Structure 1
Amino acid sequence: MSAASCLLTEDQFLCSICLDVFTDPVTIPCGHNFLKTCITEHWDIDLPCQCPNCREVFNTKHELQVNTVISEMAAQFRQSAQQVASSSSSSEQQVSKPKEVPCDVYSGSKRRTWMFLLCLLCVFTAWMVSDQKKHLVGPLKEEYEAKKAELWKTGAEILQMIQKRRLKIQEIKHSEELSDEDADREISEGVQIFTALKESVERSLAELIKTIQEKQRKTEKPAEGFITELEQEISEMKKRSTEVEQLLQSEDHLHLLQSFTSLNTVPPTKDWTEVNVHPPSYEGTVRRAVTQLEETLSEQMKKLLPESDLKRVELKRVQQSAVDVTLDPDTAHPYLILSDDGKQVNHGDVRKNLPDNPKRFFNYVLVLGKQSFSSGRFYYEVQVKGKTKWTLGVVRESINRKEEITLSPQDGYWAIWLRNDNEYKGLADPAVLLSLKSRPQKVGVFVDYEEGLVSFYDVDAAALIYSFTGCSFTEKLYPFFSPSPKYGGKNSAPLIISPVNQ
């Protein structure tokens, strides 16, 4: 063999895991060599046991023995490298070049045997290490750098996730603090509101009792005078009766004749036939007190509550008077189509041939509710979503249903309508153009019969649309509905009587 075959390079004595020169090299079953500490640590974290170079897997962890041949060769290589480094200032530039290992380490036949083995092993190791360096060490380092970058990325993502969760914790704590503050504020405001309500109710009750007592005293005073006069007259008549009785029992005839004239006549008395004591009338007293209380409470709540909350409270108040309303098919104009449950009405394409009756509308596409009201309060809601024209309200029972009329209170209609998709009017006399902040999707209708009040509400916005006040109701009132014609499908949505969600 040539001397060149006995030259060893630094790469041939490097561990492919740590890229350091062998000190205690071990050989694993697949034939690859590594530093004992490197492969041990690798196997401790990589289960099952696997070769870092060829990826061969071993089911059991083998006991590792130091490869003495490679260990001795590596020691010789280090010694030679140190000698070269000390004898030449340019040795640093020549580290990567082949360095000779002295072949006179041994002598005789033993020397020749070792030289043959050594040369054979150097040839093999040169190929193996250079090939590993090219095909394994490089990719392993690249994989290491890639994995390292991934770990940095993962670590950064974890830190970011931790930071986000810490911020979320702060956000939750802050929200909790705000929630506590809001709860305390709501409780405080609630206490103020209900304290004011309690005081108002107590004042109103005291005033009601005072009013009733004053009425009672006004009745009691003349009654007591009448009783006193009657008792005085009774006393006088008893006295006269006693004198008459005594005179009749007396034997003194002269005294009887002398007293006859004065005792023979009834003592003067008052004519009580026309005297009457009428009990006081309490009719409407409680009702007026309740109305006054409501007004007082409303004023107080305006001071305590935001306008939006106040509107919602007002709507909730009228919704307490909710009633069930269904459509009356006997009143429906022939063009109208009613649902089977009596909750929806739409304008049809064909005029139906229906029997005429006094209740049915002839000129106007209207339909009434079956229910009538002649006292108290009532409220219902109608969905108008998707419509460009409609009319809603209440009518008195005696309205003209056959001829053309004006929809106004004078003709018995208290109503509002939508025209031209965005033109709202309260149908008073004259009609009032309404400016609404939002487009109502559901309209609430409220009537207080005794107060003469008809109000319309935008349910979703809890806003008052329009009110008729000071009305005089003397007969039954009926809800009425007009979906208006379809106008080529633009107004095809039905009017729907909706359940009231309180």
Structure 2
Amino acid sequence: MAAASCLLSEDQFLCPICMDVFTNPVTIPCGHNFCKNCVTTHFDITTPWKCPLCQEVFLQRPELRVNTFISEMVVQFREEAQQMMSSSSEQQAAKPGDVLCNFCTGTNRKALKSCLVCLASYCETHLEHHLTVSALKTHPLINPTENLEDKICTEHKKPYEFFCKTDKACVCILCTYSDHKTHEIIPLTEKYEENNVQLGTEEAKIQQMIKERQLKVQEIQHSVELSKDSAQRNITKSVEVFTALTESVQRNLDKVIEDIEDKQTTTEKQAEDFIKELKREISELEKRSTEVELLSHAVTDLHLFHSLPFLKDTSPLKDWTEISLQPPTYEISVVTTAIQLQEELSQEISALAKAELEIVQQFAVDVTLDPDTAHPHITLSDDEKQAMPSDVKKALQDNPERFSVNPCVLGKQSFSSGRFYFEVQVKGKTEWDLGVVRESIDRKADVPLSPEDGYWTIWLRKRNRFRALDETPVNLPLKCRPQKVGVFVDYEEGLVSFYDVGSSALIYSFIGCRFNDKLLPYFNPGLSDGGKNAAPLIITSVRHNM
């Protein structure tokens, strides 16, 4: 056993996480060993649970079992290491960078302490007098230090034993009776303790910051993994969708080509039949022409008279005046097939749009209306979820946040990062504006609704005229009037999208937007128009489409 212990080295007892000698070593199901505290902390902050070494994933949090064998070996190793250190650590030859004993001759040995009175450093052997001789026991000893003269007062040639808090300087005993007599003086050891406490606090703060950043690294890495998984799923789905569309296009193209070729074959067959019959008639007519020519050279009128009945008996010929070869209408096949393909594409796009809407609905936020921004012609409900146009202008305080010209109101909630989504019921209205705006927009003037002026909106006018108010306004030929509109924003991506929630269809997207301010939800219920547009805009709770 003793021989075996000589072969033990520190590398054999290092925890793979903290890289220090094991403390309370435990084993996890895959067979690897760690400090109990290290692996417990690892599993506290890591999901799913993986072995830090082999990355084996565990469905349940692994049970930690004490490794008694390694525990005993670690205890033995620590005892042997301690014995070795006690016998030789302080008497070993000095290494580069160590403070040397000033009294050793021959081999340079490492100093154990430095004396501020003697201005010298001592190894364990030469330090013995300072520990045993009464006159030397009063000398202040410090950890081995180079340039001991810097520890001595240049004016009084006494060691620095105090710290002047007034001048923030080290002073000797005589300084406290002269220049620093009225100053706040504390023992230098107390200052060292204060510094150590301060350094300890700073170290703890730094370690906490390191831990927070390590956790943030793990969080970001986890986000990258989630993003990678999501990207792969979307790539797979995209390949499936576009492969199906490509195959559908190819099938329809093959069908069109086959139909055109069949029509062309039929046309060619009909042409061959016409030509064959025409050639037969031409042959017959040529034969008759020959006979007529022969008769024209008859010797007597009697011979001609007897031959004429035979000419009249010739079979009648077809009247080709109304007969023609009409080329087939190939375009009908192309258009019909294209319409069928368009329907297939429309169904696939609808399915994709529904899936996209379900994704953005996951970023739903609770939006309420801000009464401090509401135009005097707007009435808000008590729950601040409805904005109703009013024919009566209310007497409201004209604060800087309130709209003065257009009948608008903003949401209370502002957003300067991330993604958010909300839905608004527009049922029964003949006009409205919806979207998001920069917090810094001018609320006292009639400003054009455009991204340049801080507006990303769409609107309805005259019951069925929809428009996206982009840099160049875009008319939106919607198949049906939305009853509920969803608004989605990806701040970092620079994206604002509008959805018809009922049909799960994308209405319009502003892309490549540059947001340099907080964004606020924007609502304009329009004017009442004699009651024709009296219905309110209603912020509704988000229900995922099934």
User: So what's the TM-score if we normalise by structure 2?
Assistant: 0.40
Relative contact order, CA 8 A, sep 6+: which one is greater? 1
Larger Rg: 1
Q: TM (normalized to structure 1)? A: 0.44
